Structure 1
Amino acid sequence: MKKIIALFMTAIVMLSMAACGTQKSSNGSGSEQKSVTLKLAHNLNEQHPVHLALAEFAKKVEEKTNGQVKIQIFPNGQLGSESEVLEQLQAGAVALTKVSATALTTYEDGYNAFSLPYVFNDENHFYKCMESDVVKELYNKTKDKGFIGLTYYDSGARSFYTAKKAINTPQDLKGLKIRVMGFKSQTDMMQALGGTAVSMNYGDVYTALQSGVIDGCENNETALTIGKHGEVAKYFSYDEHTRIPDILVISSKVWDSLTADQQKAIQEAAKDSTEFQKPLWKKSVQEAVEQAKSMGVKFNDVDKKPFKEAVAPMIEKYSNEMIEVKKLLDAFKTIQ
């Protein structure tokens, strides 16, 4: 059924693209370039910093192409879940989408590097690594899989938050059931730290925390307020084990249908949108912390050294088993 829907949507997109007509290029050469409208789908709401960045991206694309390329955004999961939209994108029915880097691990091993704990030293190191040549190379490695990466968006550092006690050392996780996203790297991380990984949908977390089915979660500060988890989880411990970016990807089929000038404009607009999103994300985190404090959440800093030591064998194992992961991690270590 998904394949039928994807094929149907592809037909609609191709018809709509054909109906757009042509416009003269702005370089004065007199050559003709097609005017296109590209669909961008994602599962966030219109207030989220990433959605605002995508709206800025759409605005910049239209400006830089003199209206030749327009982006139509479908937020709130209107066209399906993250994985469903990615399938549509591979078929060319959707042009662009935002996905968590972890969702791309099944297509390219290198993306596992972003979900490993303590890969990035801090926020500035994260930014420099994500803007490095080795990451740009990674973006293009999935072209034959149906998509390429354009840029990244900050989704913060993920830490542990719990219902009954703060997490100050890995020993504090022993015997605790912690909700994770369900990717192997997260399950392996929890095992290395002594906790028990529990995979469940984000929408079920509040009730699970409230009923004691789980003892805590790992996420950024905004989960305390957007998901209202701060009502039932009163301890947020800043171990900052991972910084998993969101990645903006575009269909290979759509990308190849664009002119070189249009491709350049989209790449420039994507980079601009990342810079646009950074302060928005910081502001959203600051607001979430203040609101969570008013809900009674206590925030505590932790010594990260014991956590790093506990997961070191896990990181070495991933590096040994995945050449692309080792390549990225080695490059990140050279970035100051």
Structure 2
Amino acid sequence: MKHWKTMTAAFGLLAASAMTVQAADIVLRSSDTHPDGYPTVEAVKYLGELVKERSNGRIEIEVFHSAQLGQEKDTIEQTQFGVIDMNRVSLGPFNNIIEETQVPSLPYIFRSVDHMHKVMDGPIGQEILDAFSDHDLVGLVFYDAGSRSFYNRQKPVENMADLSGMKFRVMQSDLFVDMVNALGANATPMPYGEVYSSIQTGVIDGAENNWPSFESSGHFEVAGYYTLDEHLIVPEVLVMSKKSWDKLSAEDQALIRQAAKDSVPHMRKLWAEREAASEAKVREAGVKIVSDIDKTPFIEAMKPVYEKYVTSDKLKDLVARIQATE
């Protein structure tokens, strides 16, 4: 019933927008949970500008930011059904759907953001994008999401022992749940939009995310301690509904795919600027930042997580190839 209500609301928003956009032959609606101005939102807007220009105005992309069409789990289903045409989503919610997405979501799989770029911009990244096609989706490109670290309302976390017993929100992904539990904390899956009030009221102690999300969500207002353990460098993905994709000509498909690739450098520039601005704002607000931390115990604690999720020869090969990428 919840999914139908969400889908009905989405239909209403999309129908209303369709009446206001009449010039283009094709109008594609894209969803994002982040607020207006966020790098991923602006990247898809930029993609829309490229598509409109290169199609001579035949194709437009309208971006619905701030979870107007629902939280990520709901919008994934709507995109598979063709209710939503495009969707910028974190990889985490896909972990239980597309096994290949589990690998770039593994803790400490990437040595740095540059390492992640080399992997996801190359044949390994394309292989993972191709895996979406078996799930009524077309993987277009990967965007940045920075490094994810823990923040909480109680105390500075300076080592793994400090995490013991604390409740942290995670994305609705079994892998993320097991990661947090392996560190001795208690994982609580919940939608992104519920995190602020849950920290504020003590339902959870904290969450984990990057600088821009920590700042733009306002979570830094209720969680005064941020530990830069950088356990995850998980890219985000832009997908398109296969139902919507199949309605396009081969030429328009190629146009959109190329424009999506061309939006990536723009997104990364915006991301770097936003990350620096968000960090400055959080530090100015007086949040206690713990940056001097020994990551070795954290990495060693992930061995059972890898053993649980990296089971098939395909996934083991992906992990080996990522780790071998210089």
Return the TM-score normalized by structure 1.
0.85
1:55 Cα deviation after fit: 0.4
Going from structure 1 to structure 2, the CA distance change for 1:37 and 1:202 (only over 3 Å counts) comes to closer
* Structure 1 gap segments, 5+ residues each: 22-33
1:310 maps to which residue?
A: 301
Q: Which residue is equivalent to 1:252? A: 242
Find the partner of 2:44 among 38, 54, 61: 54
Please tell me the residue identity of whatever aligns with 1:103.
Answer: P
1:151 is aligned to 141
**Matched residue pairs, number?**
316
User: For 1:201 and 1:3, how far apart are their aligned partners in 2?
Assistant: 17
Name the % identity: 34
Offset of residue 310 of structure 1: 1.1
Question: 1:5-44 alignment to 2 at 5 Å?
Answer: 35-44=25-34
> Which of 38, 54, 66 matches 1:64?
54
Change (3 A) 1:144 1:330: same
Counterpart CA distance in 1 for 2:119 and 2:226 is: 27
Distance 1:324 1:3, change over 3 A: farther
Equivalent in the alignment of 2:181: 191
| DSSP 3-state at the match of 1:45 | coil
Relative to structure 1, the CA distance from residue 175 to residue 42 in structure 2 (aligned partners, 3 Å threshold; closer, same or farther) is closer
Instruction: Give the partner amino acid of 2:126.
Output: K
Task: Give the 3 Å change call, closer, same or farther, for CA 80–64 of structure 1 in structure 2.
Answer: same
Once the two structures are TM-superposed, the CA of residue 98 in structure 1 deviates from its matched residue by 1.1
2:106 corresponds to:
116
Structure 1 residues 193 and 272, CA gap change in structure 2 (3 angstroms) = same
| 1:141–1:182 CA distance, 2 compared to 1 (3 A) | closer
Q: Distance in 2 between matches of 1:273 and 1:221?
A: 22
What are the superposed Cα offsets for residues 53-106 of structure 1, whole Å, 9 maximum, x if unpaired?
000000111222233322222223333332333323223232211111122223
Note the 1:274-293 alignment, pairs <5 A: 274-293=264-283
Partner SS, residue 214 of structure 1: coil
Match of 1:74 in 2: 64
> Which of 87, 100, 112 is equivalent to 2:77?
87
Residue by residue over 1:190-239, the C-alpha shift from the partner in whole angstroms, topping out at 9 and shown as x without a partner, is 22111121233434433443444433321112344223222332221111
> For residues 40 and 173 of structure 1, what CA distance do their matches in structure 2 show?
37
Distance across 1 between alignment mates of 2:161 and 2:140: 40
The answer to whether the 8 Å contact 1:41/1:85 transfers is: yes
Matching residue of 1:26: none
| Residues in 2 aligned to 1:139 and 1:86: alpha-carbon distance in whole angstroms | 15
Residue in structure 1 matching 2:172, options 169, 177, 182: 182
Contact 2:104–2:235 (CA under 8 A) maintained in structure 1 = yes
Partner AA of 2:112 in structure 1: D
1:227 counterpart residue number: 217
- Equivalent of residue 325 in structure 1, options 294, 307, 315: 315
Matched, 1:171 2:185: no
Q: Are the aligned partners of 2:225 and 2:288 in contact in 1 as well (CA < 8 Å)?
A: yes
Deviation at 1:259, TM superposition (A): 2.3
The answer to whether the 8 A contact 1:99-1:248 is kept is: yes
Change (3 A) 1:265 1:245: same
Taking structure 2 as the reference length, the TM-score comes to 0.87
Name 2:227's counterpart in structure 1. 237
Alignment of 1:161 onto 2:161: no
- Which of 199, 202, 217 is the aligned partner of 2:207? 217
| Contact 2:92–2:176 (CA under 8 A) maintained in structure 1 | no
Q: Based on CA coordinates, which of the two structures has the bigger radius of gyration?
A: 1
Distance across 2 between alignment mates of 1:193 and 1:97: 32
CA deviation after TM superposition for structure 1 residue 35, in Å: 4.2
Cα 1:79/1:176, change in 2 over 3 Å? closer
Per-residue CA distance 1:223-266 (angstroms, 9 max, x = gap): 44223222332221111001222211112122223222222211
Q: How many Å apart are 1:173 and its aligned residue?
A: 1.1
